[in-house]
Amino acid sequence: MKKFISKYLTSHSETRENHEDEALQTHYYKTTKDKALQAVLEVFEGGEYNILSTSEEHGEVSVNYKGKKKAFIVASIVMVKPFRTAVDFSVSTESGGPVDFGFSRNMIIQLNEKLKKRLPYLETSMANKLNQ
The reported pLDDT for the residue numbered 2 is 47
Distance CA 25, CA 27 (A): 6
CATH T-level fold of 2-130: Alpha-D-Glucose-1,6-Bisphosphate; Chain A, domain 4 (3.30.530)
pTM over 0.85: yes
- Tell me the pLDDT tens digit for each residue of 96-108: 677 888 999 999 9
**pLDDT of 6 strictly over 90:** no
User: Strand ranges (DSSP E) for 82-124?
Assistant: 84-94, 121-124
**Buried b or exposed e, range 88-117, using 16+ CB within 10 angstroms:** bbbbbbeeeeeebbebbbbbbbebbeebee
pLDDT tens digits along 39-97: 999 999 988 999 999 999 999 999 999 988 999 999 999 999 999 999 999 999 987 67
Per-residue pLDDT, 98: 77
Q: What is the dihedral of CA 22, 83, 116, 68, to 10 degrees?
A: 80
